[in-house]
Each structure stands twice: as C-alpha cells, then as structure tokens.
C-alpha cells in the first residue's frame, strides 16, 4: 500500500493525520532519534492544501522515536531519494516526508479513504486512521506509561484531556 508507512508511523507516534502529512525532513533529528511536530497539512474547501500551525500550542512538540520508527523513516528517505533521481527536474521539492510520486504533498482525504478501504476489504472491526492515534495512547497507558508523558506525546493542551479520553484504562493501573 502506498500509504503503509504513514499508517505505521501513526500508530508508533500517535501523530494526527495532518501532522504526519505536514512532517518535513528538516523536522527529524537523526542524532537524537526525535521528530519535531512543527506544522500540519490540511485540505481547506476553496483553498486546497494548506500548511498551517499545529492544532494547539502544545501540539508543537518533540516525539522520541524508537528504532523501528527511525528505520521506517530511513527507508522512506531512501525510496524518496530514488524517486527524486528518477523523476528529475519534475520533482516538486517541498521537503515533505510523505509525498506523491512527484514530490507534491499528499491529499489527506486520499490517505484516510485508502485506510477505510483496507479496513473494509479485510473485514476488520471499525477503525479510522485517527483511531491509530487512540490505539497508540491506549497501548502506552496499558504498558504503564505516565499519563503526563502520554499527554505530551499526543500534544494535548493539558493532561486532563488525556485523562478524560482514556480514564477507562486507568482503574486497572491503581492495582
């Protein structure tokens, strides 16, 4: 699937679709295995694709990457460089990590629609692309991560949002 790396990084980081599609190579700190959420890419009716600030002030954040995320991003970069070389002067260099075959940014609705198609085709329970963000948070909390850390990783404006959304997971943590 052309978007599999987006889906994979979504569940590994908890990033929003708009943040994933707005991610640029300059946002990745390879030495410290960290990415920085600096912008979002959205489709706005009448304006097309628009790069803007993330959803909230706290949404501008650093996310530590595990080795599988670093490997995934290195693979994406290698494949993108190969496409760039084969495309030549037609390549549209906007520094985005996830792009169309010619370097232009991806259309957010296409990424979500393809995810829905995969879920339906494979008879999976209802799951949206945004649901991968919730799965990430659920897995972190279930593994015993501090809710404050989960909140920061997701870019919530405060920990109470995280606690409100995921409080159903927390009673078992007390034991």
Which residues are identified as catalytic?
16, 55, 130, 133, 156, 166
CA separation for the pair 115, 129 (Å, rounded): 6
SS3 state of residue 163? helix
Q: Are 136 and 12 in contact (CB under 8 A)?
A: yes
Where helices occur in the chain by DSSP H, the ranges are 4-13, 17-22, 67-87, 108-121, 129-142, 147-154, 159-166, 171-174
CA separation for the pair 6, 12 (Å, rounded): 10
Q: For the chain, how many residues are written?
A: 175
């Amino acid at each position: 699937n052309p978007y599999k790396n987006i889906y994979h990084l979504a569940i590994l980081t908890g990033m929003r679709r708009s943040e994933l599609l707005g991610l640029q190579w300059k946002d990745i700190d390879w030495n410290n295995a960290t990415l920085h959420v600096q912008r979002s890419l959205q489709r706005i009716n009448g304006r097309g694709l628009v790069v803007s600030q993330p959803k909230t002030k706290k949404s501008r954040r650093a996310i530590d990457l595990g080795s599988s995320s670093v490997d995934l991003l290195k693979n994406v970069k290698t494949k993108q460089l190969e496409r760039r070389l084969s495309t030549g002067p037609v390549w549209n260099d906007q520094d985005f990590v996830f792009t169309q075959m010619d370097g232009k940014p991806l259309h957010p609705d296409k990424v979500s629609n393809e995810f829905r198609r995969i879920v339906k085709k494979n008879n999976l329970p209802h799951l949206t692309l945004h649901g991968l963000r919730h799965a990430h948070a659920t897995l972190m909390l279930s593994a015993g991560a501090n809710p404050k850390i989960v909140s920061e990783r997701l870019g919530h404006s405060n920990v109470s949002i995280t606690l409100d959304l995921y409080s159903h997971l927390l009673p078992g943590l007390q034991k």
